[in-house]
Structure 1
């Protein structure tokens, strides 16, 4: 059964068949699907957020094949199974693949998230973007009890030395009301983060351009209105707004890679507007669990994001224009603006007269308009790009031999058009005129698999699935410096189609919860981020192949309330690095494009009002081999341990957590494996920090 109560696959639930993973677009239980699926429940998510502070960090801590986060606002280079995951909230895509600002991990406060659904590997279940998998955040549900209910949270955080500027805090509240068929939920969360300190007691450097979660303020708002229609129908209107703003109190001090001194920070006034992230979302849905004997789901949504990046005078070649400033000291900063409007509809039921066969049909529509502007001089860096997708799909699941054997498969037909008008690049790209176009992409994306479950709790499966995304078109279009380019024929903006083949075995019986999965995937024209001489990462379209092994083991010990778990992931990725690509992979993917191997160990104890967890992540050393290799980018590895304590009283729960319990000094994975000559991007990881919290439900 591809289900776990958390991403360490620790806990077996007797009611697991009742759990619906909405990201899978079916009400069938996870053990009926040929997929690797994890569900991080609310208790586990809250526990991890007390340790790490964000949903993305929580997912990364628990999932060995997810890359270590950068501990920054930008998640550029963070991956699941070596490819970019699709972040979604209630199925609404948060990613902006046309010009990937990599802010999609910070679009809602985890206080409003009821669970996180993880679907591993390339798939097209949610449309564009799921080449590494899907990270779907399901928000708080409708209230169950009549009248008023809710919860509150007060939380404080500090670095190891309890420095004044390292202090942070969070307050959040959620109020719910139910009266017969009508219910309403409204909530707000406010958080102030101090600066971060490393294990040696130094301030961690700031990436003022890409953005920071440290030295920032966040306000997240959430509302939900619902109405029950008949016995099985329901209308929901859900709205959220999230904004994270940097305070702009510090400037970076270069480190020294040769001596091992990391980038730091001092008080100062950086130029321009501090980096920020704002996301607004509204969704209207109607569902009916028994419409004509089947399950009907529909959703209309609007999503808008505005990602502001910090400003700079360097790199000189990027924003400079001698016609505006002949001294080449021109200051500028960029801002991504993206707007999505879409709709989803699906219907699922067992075939009358052939109840062993469950079929799902549906249709998705998505439009996405994205551009990147230079807001200090009001210039267009990335021209407005319009994405449109029409996608009918069908899935079938056949249960044989009393559900001991299942065959599953389906197809999604993607009809995609990308529209870009004529434009002229910046001076740094030669003020090149580019003829716009409407490149199209039409393809049938297939999936299929077989599931064998000879006895309850033991299953094996094999599957094949195709997923797709569009390349970071913004990075491509803004860098065109050759005349007479016609975007209709410019192959570099052809969509990325990747596949995922995997075989897995899972055992969930008695005290044992174990799984083993082997997967491999490839894409003929993948997307790699490769630094140019100016330190800016450009997109290159090359064949990539990735394979990996995931092992998980959880055991409930004879000691009442004690559970131990282990998780391991090995990833191997290569690409075609030849100057004239020959379609054969020959060089390892570097740290910008793939995560290190990792071993997770954890122990949980829960009895009565007391619960505790201690977890350790071993990020294993790695060298990158192949025709294109810089030994300075090899990874030395590091080990981090976290701890969590909770005591429940009738007046609420008290929690105390420590991240990086042993105050390990280390250089984070992203900094250690990229830009080996950039001393402003040599960031240490966060040292020991504490979080004390109180939460109350009423």
Structure 2
């Protein structure tokens, strides 16, 4: 794998040679040399991303809208465009979806959506994508946003009012059908945003409603619903969004944002077992589920103060509040049984995860000649409980998380920015408070002594950037990412008597060391990049299936990977081609001797992948074809029944811009391929009920209007 370094180093001279040949044929000024620098707000600095020793990507509004018309969700858009993101499950849950083999931190305008104490795995579905202007991705473990970014950061930046005075509006009308055009597969979406700027004041408000029909596989069978974790298909969502700001003069601005997202399944589809040995996936049949249908509710409020010239620097302070309430499907799971309530095997229940958090992110940035400095502090409080709703039992005890994290970052530009040295430190000071509690009957029950374990850790980062000419750069970096393990999964599953949480090592934090080397080239018609990275954590977090549920095991984890990307214009006017490749290898120490000895399984790491794309624009018409090849993978040291067979998908879209808006006809899985989704193919080899097929061809017709 170390040969990947040679591949990375080789890309730069190859791309430079290609550019030199192109310049010799037709000298011109590169578009990249005149474009505005890209700022990634999730990086907590106003410096352009080219000044930072990390891998970052921005999915702009045009690209995001095209992907949303193909698939409908931000998670699917990221999964389609980012080779190192694992295949989307096409379900309401994101359990097992990773970025570079680790869990990413989802955020909305920097507001963390992940619950640090009990990860409900629904953090990718907390806002309607109609309200998103762009998506910022920072790949690799880092502590820039605090807790949770061991795989990277996926920051969804919301829309803003227009830059000029006056009114504007944006609307969407959308209809979706499965191949075969059966009535239960029809879905639709309607949404509107209205914005106004009047002098110092601006406001934008919007609402969106979406109805999702039944999904079908490539052989026209209804795909089975995920009755426990929840499903996107056969569901309805209603969302509201508002943002208002006022300029107070001298670069001072106050802005408020609020949004509410509510998605609920219709509960009229039940799963029918398939047959793994015969390759027959589970299917869905009309019926009424027991209990409440899975539901997801997310609400966020934020108040932001910015002052562009305070003591010679730029101040940014954001206070936020966030609440999520998730209901999961019920059953007579073994974990839920209690003979004191009902005969064993008959007790039906369903869990509900409720999390409330508030926090403050504050930073001040100033340049001192060639030195740029950022000073800041982040505060975060989270209160989480997981209940069994039908019997009002606490599965995860009420748990509080408190974090105080001051940080500083420095970036020194030498030789007119051709060489940059960057680095910083973040001090995480964490306390977790859990009262005395009793586990469910299934686990003993055990009497667990409460406590307030605390941790503090200095998390360093540093790197070097070399940019000999605009559009050509190389970098190397080291950064630590930090999170706590899924405390809820750990505390609810304690089977040992007389545990004292003040000394219980299983809830110590996960610290991931990330190192990467990258080169990038963006000149003329060519944009190319290569990144090699490797990361490890001494006490990583591994999801292991025990009975009906996943539990957390703390084991050493080592991951390494290679990412290659290339896009280029062609001699055909308007035609642009792209290729992206990701290789990922992860291993774990299963026997506790400190040496990794088995592959990470499909619940914890994604497959290697190749992305190909072609975009053609001619006047008002744009056409796009994109393919995703997920390569087969065998997991050494695991159950051979969980080896992955691989699959290939093709998507396409046609957009026509007119005076009354743009019309798009898009298709996901254009060739209607039949396949088993990655998570199902690599997990639960004896479970015929959760053997989910991937979605077959779906067709979406959209109208986007701007006024």
SS in 1 for 2:237: strand
Q: CA deviation at 1:17?
A: 4.5
SS in 1 for 2:76: helix
SS in 2 for 1:50: helix
Written as runs of structure 1 = structure 2, the 5 A alignment for 1:557-636 is: 557-578=570-591, 581-626=592-637, 629-636=638-645
**Aligned partners of 1:291, 1:562: CA distance in 2, in Å?**
47
Query: Which of 211, 216, 220 lines up with 2:230 in the alignment?
Result: 211
Query: Which of 125, 140, 144 lines up with 1:125 in the alignment?
Result: 144
Written as runs of structure 1 = structure 2, the 5 A alignment for 1:355-366 is: 355-366=369-380
Is 2:474 aligned against 1:460? yes
Q: CA deviation at 1:150?
A: 1.2
Query: 1:17–1:29: 8 Å Cα contact kept in structure 2?
Result: no
- Report the equivalent of 1:87: 106
Q: CA deviation at 1:97?
A: 2.5
Query: Which of 499, 513, 517 lines up with 2:513 in the alignment?
Result: 499
SS in 2 for 1:344: strand
- Report the equivalent of 1:450: 464
Query: Which of 419, 444, 447 lines up with 1:433 in the alignment?
Result: 447
- Report the equivalent of 2:4: none
Is 2:404 aligned against 1:387? no
**Aligned partners of 1:429, 1:97: CA distance in 2, in Å?**
23
- Report the equivalent of 1:663: 672
Written as runs of structure 1 = structure 2, the 5 A alignment for 1:152-231 is: 152-231=171-250
TM-score normalised by the chain length of structure 1: 0.96
- Report the equivalent of 1:471: 485
Query: 1:12–1:513: 8 Å Cα contact kept in structure 2?
Result: no
**Aligned partners of 1:53, 1:499: CA distance in 2, in Å?**
34
Query: 2:175–2:702: 8 Å Cα contact kept in structure 1?
Result: yes
Q: CA deviation at 1:261?
A: 0.5
Query: Which of 638, 641, 647 lines up with 1:638 in the alignment?
Result: 647
Is 2:300 aligned against 1:281? yes
Query: 2:581–2:611: 8 Å Cα contact kept in structure 1?
Result: yes
Is 2:429 aligned against 1:422? no
SS in 2 for 1:100: coil
Q: Flag structure 1 segments of 5+ consecutive residues without an equivalent.
A: 1-10
Query: Which of 345, 352, 364 lines up with 1:335 in the alignment?
Result: 352
CA deviations 1:485-522 (Å, max 9, x no partner) are 00011000001000110000001010010000000000
SS in 2 for 1:98: coil
289-298 or 385-394: bigger deviation: 289-298
Query: 2:32–2:471: 8 Å Cα contact kept in structure 1?
Result: no
Is 2:132 aligned against 1:142? no
Query: 1:648–1:654: 8 Å Cα contact kept in structure 2?
Result: yes
- Report the equivalent of 1:3: none
Is 2:420 aligned against 1:406? yes
Q: CA deviation at 1:51?
A: 0.5
- Report the equivalent of 2:27: none
Query: 1:535–1:675: 8 Å Cα contact kept in structure 2?
Result: no
**Aligned partners of 1:631, 1:415: CA distance in 2, in Å?**
43
* Backbone CA RMSD of aligned residues: 1.0
Query: Which of 315, 320, 324 lines up with 2:341 in the alignment?
Result: 324
CA deviations 1:59-108 (Å, max 9, x no partner) are 01000000001100000000000000000000000001311110000000
Cα distance change, pair 16–84 in 1 and its aligned pair in 2 (3 A): farther
TM-score normalised by the chain length of structure 2: 0.95
SS in 2 for 1:48: helix
Q: CA deviation at 1:481?
A: 1.7
Q: Flag structure 2 segments of 5+ consecutive residues without an equivalent.
A: 1-29
SS in 1 for 2:80: helix
Count residues in correspondence: 678
CA deviations 1:271-328 (Å, max 9, x no partner) are 0000010000000001122223221111000000001001111x2x210110000253
SS in 2 for 1:18: coil
SS in 2 for 1:438: coil
**Aligned partners of 1:293, 1:195: CA distance in 2, in Å?**
57
Is 2:29 aligned against 1:20? no
